[in-house]
Structure 1
Amino acid sequence: MSANYKNWVPNGMITALTAGTAILGAGTAALMCAKMSPKLKMALVGTAGAGTLACGAMTAWSIYAHCKFSYNGNRQLSKAIVEGTAKYITLPEGGIGLDVGCGSGALTIACAKRNPQGRMVGIDRWGMEYASFSQQLCEDNSDSEGVQNTEFHQGDACKLDYPDEYFDAVTSNYVYHNITGVNKQELLRETMRVLKKGGTFAIHDIMSKARYGDMQQFISELYNEGYEVVELIDTTNGMFMSKGEAKVLGLSGSSLLVGRK
């Protein structure tokens, strides 16, 4: 059985949007045939028609994005991002790495494959908004890939249940921008807290200034604290995707923060 890493745009979303578009379209057609005052009909048809167009546009986008992110499709953007991020994670013999917000286990497993001399721990809260993602799914995917050096646990990115300098590597992919009401640089700090001196890190997210603030200042602060290497890489310049593709998918500002503590 092959691994099932799911899709960042779930089938349920596409089904719901398609149904919504059909219902709104049928409603618009019914209103056009209904007997009522011309002014009221115009207002109702206009409103229902606008809703149909909006829902239809969202349906089209979700299908487009689903195809882009599919692990089995032609583009396989999710796979490219996961494998491209995993390349920056290095574990020493017997080392342990942490993947924050592991979802379906894709990045955890990719890092574990590249580092058979160590093991990877994936944590996630597996919330209702991603109901098809679970600890069991991660474990099943790891088994399907024949990877034995992984483990998965419930966890909170805002307050990691690990002591300072516990892991030899830390990583994350498109997680922190989803956490509302929390300073993103503080989330990065919490992740870096559990990284050992000399450990590697690779964190990929939408690190726009509006979300993350001044990342160049953040990098300067890390250097001042003794970090050996810190680099912020724009992944929309052809590394993982083009700027145009990123804009359409809502991923503008995607960057990879990599380095060594």
Structure 2
Amino acid sequence: MKPSNSPDYANWIPQKLVTGLALTAALLSLLFGLSFLLPGGTLSLILRFILGAAALLMLVMFTYMARARKLLSYEGGGVQGKILDNVLRYLDWDGRGELLDIGCGSGALTIKAARKFPGARCVGMDYWGAMWDYAQTQCENNARLEGVTDRVRFQKGDAAKLDFPDGCFDAAVSNFVFHEVRTQPDKLALIREALRVLKPGAPFAFEDVFFSRGHYPDLEELIKTLSGEVAELRFMDTRKNDFVPKLLRTPLVAGEMGLLCGRK
């Protein structure tokens, strides 16, 4: 439990996931042990093998995710914060006006933006689904503890249909969000919706699992299409960095990340 006077930015790997893996591994291990009480025979041997393999797999997954969670955490390796800092590094903005953080989660990126750009106003929006360890009150409390309450606000919303008029923001950021939006499987349409609320010429920096074929089956075509719709577009392979340990460079964590940045 974090102290009440310390910001709680949670973790990109929910504790409930790690706990679920641990319980599953324990249950399968128990069943594996009990399988030795069964009468001998081919079927018993097959069952024992399946249970043993499944238990071992769950144990490996639990160990990996628990270690990855520690490396990501602000109290551990701090990789989450370093990834967010890198997103802002690609945002070519003078800090004048209002910034939108799409899918703000615990408010970490929104608050980092407010601290980096002391003259800016920042808006964080999120759906705050039940599967994540995030909430609007958590964001607001974090902003208060970081001393940026007067320039930051948070609201519930859907990234597939942003509750803002066209061209109202001076900058926009997003981190590891688009692939999680179930209400819009078309990720090009989702990015277009994010760009819709930006003023002409406004900068943006959107990081996601762009190297995931499952979510972005034709990355080259997506970049080509967007290049013809904005004033400036760059794609950065953010897998290539010196702040993400090799252990995290897998499809399960940070092994498929890339970043779209530029100006509308």
AA matched with 1:22: A
Question: Residues 248, 230 of structure 1: CA spacing in aligned structure 2 closer, same or farther, 3 A cutoff?
Answer: closer
Mean Cα deviation higher: 232-241 or 106-115: 232-241
- Supply the distance in 2 between the matched residues of 1:235 and 1:110 (Cα, whole angstroms): 19
- Cα displacement (A) at 1:251: 3.0
Q: Does 1:182 align with 2:185?
A: yes
2:18 is equivalent to residue 17 of structure 1: no
Match of 1:41 in 2: 44
**Residue of structure 2 equivalent to 1:110:** 112
Q: Which moved more, 1:161-170 or 1:21-30?
A: 21-30
Aligned to 1:146: 147
Q: CA RMSD in A?
A: 2.1
Given the alignment of the two structures, is residue 60 of structure 1 paired with residue 63 of structure 2, yes or no? yes
Match of 1:87, as an amino acid? Answer: R
Q: Tell me the distance in 2 between the aligned counterparts of 1:249 and 1:142.
A: 29
SS of structure 2 residue aligned to 1:71: coil
Alignment partner, residue 204 of structure 2:
201
User: What percentage of aligned pairs have identical amino acids?
Assistant: 36
Whether the 8 Å CA contact 1:91–1:117 is kept in 2: the answer is no
Corresponding letter in the other structure for 2:168: Y
Q: Give the Å deviation of 1:250.
A: 4.1
- Give 1:166's aligned residue: 168
Q: Distance in 2 between matches of 1:27 and 1:243?
A: 34
Letter in 1 for 2:86: G
| 1:70 and 2:78 matched | no
Find the residue that maps to 1:54 and give its secondary structure.
Answer: helix
Task: Look up the equivalent residue of 2:31 and give its one-letter code.
Answer: G
User: Per-residue CA shift, 1:48-81, capped at 9, x if unaligned?
Assistant: 11221121121112112102211111x2111101
TM-score, normalised to structure 1's length?
Answer: 0.90
The answer to whether the 8 A contact 1:101-1:173 is kept is yes
Structure 1 residue 218, shift from structure 2 partner: 3.9
Further displaced range: 245-254 or 155-164:
245-254
Amino acid at match of 2:8: N
One-letter amino acid of the structure 1 residue matched with residue 138 of structure 2: L
- Residue 27 of structure 1 corresponds to 31
Structure 2 counterparts to residues 215-226 of structure 1, below 5 A:
215-225=219-229
Contact 2:237 2:258 in 1 (8 A): yes
Partners of 2:162 and 2:70 in 1: CA distance = 34
Query: What secondary structure, in the 3-state scheme, does the structure 2 residue paired with 1:170 have?
Result: strand
Contact 1:202 1:259 survives alignment (8 Å): yes
The alpha carbon displacement at 1:37 in A equals: 3.8
Per the alignment, residue 102 of structure 2 pairs with 100
Structure 1: segments with no counterpart, 5+ residues: none
The count of aligned residue pairs is 256
**Equivalent AA in structure 1 for residue 257 of structure 2:** S
Say which SS state the counterpart of residue 249 (structure 2) adopts.
Answer: helix
Q: What is the TM-score when the length of structure 2 is the normalising length?
A: 0.89
Deviation at 1:46, TM superposition (A): 1.6
